[in-house]
Structure 1
Amino acid sequence: MSERDTPDPAPGRDPDAGRPDQEVVDLAHRLFDMAREGRTEQLAAYVDAGAPADLTDPSGNTLLMLAAYHGHAQLVGELARRGADVDRLNDRGQSPLAGAVFKGEDEVVTALLGLGADPEAGTPTARQTAQMFGRTDLLDGPRERGGPTVGG
């Protein structure tokens, strides 16, 4: 088929339909940065205004996963209270809890356990990650210790 024979898009059909607007893409990048930087009030306001609590980056990392991995326990709690899934796995099968265990983020681990995160979710699981790094103490969470939860 020659270039001349290539059919035109349907009349009235935008060939870019289905592609996100650049402004939307830029906003998503800003939201991911807010999660990494722990900008709790600002990110919570965007979610309250309609941004998806489980927005994912191209690797499947949610806002909560990024906040957890970067040690922002308060933000993890706020996102969970706004509907973010504490056990949502990224494209590599990793859970937010396993990421927090890997990074040694004690407060985030405590927060996630208090929010009901499953230590057996993902590959490797948070429990396996804790065993690999000799940090099984991190999974002695608030339910087992009777300790406080973030915002609870």
Structure 2
Amino acid sequence: MTQPEMSFTPEQITVLFIDAARNGENDLVKQFLEAGMPADCADSRGYTPLIVATYNDQLDTACLLLDSGADPNGTDAKGATALSGVAFKGYEAIARMLLDRGAEIDRANHAGRTPLMFAIMFGRQGMARLLLDRGADPDLRDAEGLSARDLAHRQGLGSLLAETPAP
């Protein structure tokens, strides 16, 4: 008996590639890349392999994707970058690597929120310090007119920005 031929749509192949990145399956990620999958392909929500890998704490996979041409400033459908996701999650090692590889520290999403804002909103003090030390601007404002400095005061984290003078 012969096996039925398996056929996948381009969307299904993209999902499989992104799942491999999410799970840190580097051998499989390499196979997708070698087969010609673009490092910055995106699913229906705009998630790229790099965004998903970094959000799931897959440092080695993220490095592999960046080495293969992934854009450290690529965005999802909401305008969020990989750095925004790791700022929210608190993955400092990945944030350092992304910044070292060209991620824009103050790149805001469609709502005007920067990685520093996400770090502060979710109580990631170590991440906020890292971003501030790397030059994040605590006074940029989101679509609601709030800055990271405002958010820090609301969260009781005003001391976090005490060393950073207001304009």
- Who wins on radius of gyration, i.e. which is larger? 1
Match of 1:61 among 80, 85, 93: 80
- Maintained 8 Å contact 1:109/1:139: no
What letter is aligned with 2:149? Answer: R
- Maintained 8 Å contact 2:49/2:65: no
2:158 is equivalent to residue 139 of structure 1: no
Match of 1:75 among 94, 98, 122: 94
TM-score (norm 1): 0.73
What corresponds to 1:14 in structure 2?
none
Equivalent pairs counted in the alignment come to 123
Q: Which has the higher contact order (CA 8 A, sep 6+)?
A: 1
Give the % identical residues: 29
Match of 1:33 among 52, 74, 81: 52
Q: Residue 48 of structure 1: CA displacement?
A: 2.1
What letter is aligned with 1:30? Answer: P
Q: Provide structure 1 residue ranges, at least 5 long, that are not aligned to the other structure.
A: 1-20, 145-152
Match of 1:85 among 104, 117, 124: 104
Q: Residue 31 of structure 1: CA displacement?
A: 2.4
What corresponds to 1:4 in structure 2?
none
Q: Please give the alpha-carbon distance, in whole angstroms, between the structure 2 residues aligned to 1:76 and 1:50.
A: 18
What letter is aligned with 1:75? Answer: I
Q: Please give the alpha-carbon distance, in whole angstroms, between the structure 2 residues aligned to 1:37 and 1:61.
A: 15
- Maintained 8 Å contact 1:86/1:116: yes
Q: Residue 138 of structure 1: CA displacement?
A: 2.2
Aligned residues: CA RMSD: 2.1
Q: Provide structure 2 residue ranges, at least 5 long, that are not aligned to the other structure.
A: 1-9, 15-40
- Maintained 8 Å contact 1:89/1:122: no
Match of 1:106 among 101, 108, 125: 125
Q: Please give the alpha-carbon distance, in whole angstroms, between the structure 2 residues aligned to 1:129 and 1:28.
A: 27
